[in-house]
Amino acid sequence: MSDGALSQDEIDALLTGVDSSGTGSGSAVPEGSDAERQALQSFLAATVDAQSSTLSMMTGSKVSIKGPEAFFTNRDAFLAQLPDTVTVVNTKFTSGFPGEHLYLLPEAAAKNIAGLMTKEENISLDDMAMSVIQEAVGNIVGSQITALTGKTGNRSIANAPPQAANVPKAAAALPGGNFFVASYQLDLGEGQSGRFWEILDPQVSADIAQSLSGGSAPAGPVPGMGVIGGGSGVMNGMSMNGGGSGGMSMGQPLRVQPVQFPGLVPRPTPQEAGNIGLIMDVYMEMTVELGRTRKLIKEILGMGEGTIIELDKLAGEPVDILVNHKLIAKGEVVVIDENFGVRVTEIVSPMERMSDMG
């Protein structure tokens, strides 16, 4: 017989609005599609080496990520696997496969990663540490998007800047229903190991799995939309000649042809193409600028190993791509195998380039 006190599970359930009696919607874990799970697990397993390389370069330590173990679960069942406090990094997809996309790290693992990246011991998860974790997860997601683009051909995939928070597990904003989880084994060296989790909401996991399996296709032209074709006096098979009834004949089916639009990009004349060909083998300096800042001489002289320099850009903002010190484009940093790269996301307009040169 209850003494009226609430158990920890009941308190967690009240905080999250989940029925803990066992009769609510979260009391059973329905089976997810095994084909969907296998497609996602196979793809994610192929990205762990790149993720390991990314974290190794960012931390300066040998980092190993293994797995993942993929499964479908619900909130109640998943919370039971977590430590009491977790660092939640929300990096939702904004296009391509829009929807919720999260990473959850145990508090200890988040501190270890932030400590390795900042070269500090006994670090606390303050704003600076959270910014560092956001940067690490942002690079992992960037390499994942690059791989996903190559696998699916979907070039519109993008994510929101990662947002991290260290919260009690009951306060973690998880997707509703039966969602996809990938559980990874993380080894940071020197006995620092544990697990972290990647979560996709049901619609995102279904869309990605379908695209990985070749189930989606670009939309074709709208039926019935076409240009008017035919010979003299004929419009798509409808005779315009006067007949016995003095009207149009519908004796033949319509011939629908795709719309042909002229090119909108101006093409150089043969003379222009010949002139620019004279300088095509000239080298130019291309620079990717992460950010800038201004420091006093005394601040610069006081710098040493481990000094952190805060730049004028937020984590997740596009980096500037310059040619001969002139801004021509913006992009996002990605990791390809063990090398950094930049994916161009925006080309600066000619007008902006001219004003910059002036």
Domain assignment of residue 63, yes or no: yes
Q: What is the signed CA dihedral for 117, 66, 170, 26, rounded to 10 degrees?
A: 160
- Paired residues of 278 in beta bridges: none
Residue 206 and residue 101 share a domain = yes
Residue 169 and residue 299 share a domain = no
Domain assignment of residue 127, yes or no: yes
Domain endpoint, select from 150, 182, 212: 212
Q: Which residue in 324, 315, 325, 321 sits closest to 348, CA to CA?
A: 321
Residue 55 and residue 181 share a domain = yes
Q: Which residue in 151, 102, 149 sits closest to 343, CA to CA?
A: 149
Residue 181 and residue 41 share a domain = yes
Residues 233 and 240 sit within 8 Å (Cβ to Cβ): yes
Query: pLDDT tens string for the chain (358 positions)?
Result: 445 565 665 555 555 444 433 333 333 333 457 889 999 999 999 999 988 888 888 888 888 899 899 999 999 999 999 999 999 999 999 999 999 999 999 998 888 888 888 888 888 888 888 888 998 898 889 889 989 999 888 889 999 999 999 999 999 989 988 999 999 999 887 767 888 999 999 999 999 999 998 765 333 333 333 433 344 343 444 444 444 444 444 455 555 656 655 555 455 555 554 566 677 778 888 999 888 899 899 888 888 888 888 888 888 788 999 888 888 899 988 888 778 888 888 888 766 766 665 5
Q: What is the CA radius of gyration of the chain?
A: 28
Domain endpoint, select from 196, 212, 228: 212
Residue 188 and residue 288 share a domain = no
CATH of residue 345: 2.30.330.10
Domain endpoint, select from 190, 212, 234: 212
Q: Which residue in 254, 315, 297 sits closest to 127, CA to CA?
A: 315
CA dist 38 and 33 (Å) reads 9
Residue 177 and residue 39 share a domain = yes
Residue 323 structural domain: 284-303+314-357
Beta strands in 13-55 (DSSP E): none
Which residues, at least 6 apart from 105, have a Cβ–Cβ distance to it below 8 Å?
86, 87, 89, 113, 133, 196
CATH of residue 74: 3.40.1550.10
DSSP 22: S
Residue 299 and residue 199 share a domain = no
Domain count, the chain: 2
Domain assignment of residue 352, yes or no: yes
Length of the chain (residues): 358
**HEC string of 140-189?**
HHHHHHHHHHHHHCCCCCEECCCEEEEEEHHHCCCCCCCEEEEEEEEECC
Residue 297 and residue 182 share a domain = no
Q: In this structure, how many other beta carbons lie within 10 angstroms of the beta carbon of residue 253?
A: 8
CA dist 99 and 95 (Å) reads 8
CA dist 335 and 140 (Å) reads 8
Domain assignment of residue 232, yes or no: no
Domain assignment of residue 273, yes or no: no
Helix or strand holding residue 69 (H, E): strand 64-73
Phi, psi of 348 (to 5 degrees): -65, 135
Residue 318 and residue 208 share a domain = no
Domain assignment of residue 277, yes or no: no
Alpha-carbon 150 to chain mean position: 13
Q: pTM of the prediction? A: 0.54
CA dist 111 and 99 (Å) reads 28
Q: In this structure, how many other beta carbons lie within 10 angstroms of the beta carbon of residue 261?
A: 6
Residue 199 and residue 50 share a domain = yes
At which residue do the structure tokens 């032209």 appear? 221
Residue 168 and residue 42 share a domain = yes
Domain assignment of residue 43, yes or no: yes
Residue 149 and residue 56 share a domain = yes
Domain assignment of residue 239, yes or no: no
